[in-house]
Chain A
Amino acid sequence: MPVNPELVGRDFPPTAPYLVGREKVREFARAVFADDPQHTDPDAAQALGYADVVAPPTFAMVIQDLTLQQLLAEPDSGIELHRLIHAEQRFAYSRPIVAGDELVATLAITQVRPFGKGAMVTSEATITDADDAHVVTATSVLLVGGDEE
């Protein structure tokens, strides 16, 4: 099944709120070799003006991933995990993610473009906080392989 071009512009419900925990930020920081104290030490983060430890910039992917699960769960998407290659990733921040944030992501498919036997799909997650203020927009360009001969 080819990628469904009608995914562009489709409305998706916001994801369930994700509460960012201090230990999760520390765990993620360790995993990406983020040794700056702002990611692990609340005093260092507070010295920079944040309420708690600051998540590394790519932590937003953990929240965006919830929207990619929504996309894969669409029965008519034509997108299967095993044919998917992550080609590009971008983040545009209004502010960093901080422990204590309760975040919600809203998925939009902004482009489906034919590419070889498959398609390039641009998937955007707009991530907002409990006050509905913008935190970060995470954009993935996914290369979806075509059906095998």
Chain B
Amino acid sequence: MSAHTIDSAELAVGDIVAERTVHLTRESLVRYAGASGDFNPIHYRDDIAASVGLPGVLAHGMLTMGLAAETVVPWLGDAGRILDYGVRFTRPVVVDPDAGADVTVQGKVLALDEEFVTIDLSVTAADTAVLGKARLRARRG
């Protein structure tokens, strides 16, 4: 992993600035439902998920988007540096009632100049990309 800080002149395109794997359980989904106010039952009821044709109970897309961004916040040092952040929800994260699900995030420098850096977030579960074009642009100063 790159040891370069966000304001380092050594920071370069392709540097990996942060990575982690987050283990999600059904409790994680209930906790996010309560914190966010999103009580769509496909995120906690197997019978309803099955009735609408889903492969299982899914993590909230916004939970995945949220934990992905937070992977790089310690490297940014200040969440207030973030100017914009966007994702496409491409594949669902199925959370097994026993085994849960592992979501792996890697943040890599996609572009930079003296003032700004764009981080591309690779976000995968079960070896499949679950977010597309997950990009976060931040101030370097």
Contacts and interface: CB of A to CB of B under 8 A. Distances in A.
A60 to B, nearest CB: 10
A92 B69 contact: no
Given A58-B62, A87-B89, A89-B65, A31 B84 contact: no
A139 B85 CA distance: 10
A30 B31 contact: yes
Interface in A56-75: 56-58, 61-62, 65
Interface string A79-93: 001100111111111
Contacts of B88: 87-88
Q: How large is the interface on A (under 10, 10 to 19, 20 to 34, 35 or more residues)?
A: 35 or more
B141 to A, nearest CB: 14
Q: How large is the interface on B (under 10, 10 to 19, 20 to 34, 35 or more residues)?
A: 20 to 34
Contact of B85 (A32, A81, A82, A91): A91
A81 B65 CA distance: 21
Nearest to A91: B85
Interface in B55-98: 61-63, 65-67, 69-70, 73-74, 77-80, 82-89
Which 10 A-B residue pairs are closest in the complex by CB-CB distance?
A32-B66, A90-B86, A31-B35, A58-B66, A34-B70, A96-B80, A31-B32, A92-B84, A28-B35, A33-B67
Contacts of A55: 79
- Could you say which of A30, A34, A96 has the most chain B C-beta atoms within 10 Å of its C-beta? A34
A147 B61 CA distance: 24
B65 A38 contact: no
A133 B134 CA distance: 27
B71 to A, nearest CB: 8
B66 A86 contact: no
Given A56-B66, A89-B62, A89-B89, A96 B82 contact: yes
B69 A65 contact: no
Contacts of B35: 24, 27-28, 30-32
B67 A32 contact: yes
Nearest to A98: B80
B80 A58 contact: no
